[in-house]
Amino acid sequence: MTDDELPAPAEVLPHRPPFLFVDSLQLLAPGERVEGFWHLTGDEWFFPGHFPDRPTLPGVLMLEALAQLGACAVLSDDRYQGKLPLFGGADRVKFRRQVVPGDRLDLAVTMDRLGSRAGRGSGVARVGDEIAAQANLTFVLVDA
């Protein structure tokens, strides 16, 4: 798909603000691979409390952003219409860089395995050329 043909994340995902952590898709190969980003403005609801004098994106929200992006690849595949991918787990998680207000978190997820009831993918979140987080993600599919 070209940039002109890519849907907005909210057209694919059931998530809505303040819990939608993907701003835009940049590449979408349904059921295979997806890339997008989340630009952190500093106005997000969690920064005042995490941490008051040093706002930092919580690592679990980086994982959630990767999971949401992966869900875009799954839900764009016609085989999974009427399904909802739920986070089933994460392993080999590494947090490598702090993410702060003003950063753009570039996200990429590759589906490693997709079945009728579950799947697995690997994701990487970057700020510029630096890896901020990486993980293997597992999800289960339920009826929406």
* Both tokens assigned to 9: 């994340």
Nearest to 31 by CA among 64, 84, 65, 79: 79
Total domains present in the chain: 1
- Which amino acid is residue 36, in one-letter code? G
Positions marked active-site:
50
So what's the pLDDT on residue 2?
A: 57
Q: Which domain holds residue 33?
A: 3-143
In Å, what is the CA distance from 137 to each residue of 7, 17, 22, 56, 111?
23, 22, 17, 23, 9
Domain CATH code at residue 94: 3.10.129.10
Model pLDDT for residues 6-25, shown as the tens digit of each residue: 999 999 999 999 999 999 99
So what's the pLDDT on residue 52?
A: 95
Total residues found in the chain within this entry: 144
So what's the pLDDT on residue 1?
A: 62
Inform me whether the pLDDT recorded for 82 exceeds 80.
yes
Give yes or no for a contact between 59 and 67, defined as CB atoms under 8 angstroms apart: no
Handedness of CA 81, 139, 111, 115 (dihedral sign): negative
Model pLDDT for residues 88-116, shown as the tens digit of each residue: 999 999 999 999 999 999 999 999 999 99
So what's the pLDDT on residue 4?
A: 73
Q: Residue 3 — pLDDT band, cuts 50, 70, 90? A: low
So what's the pLDDT on residue 134?
A: 98
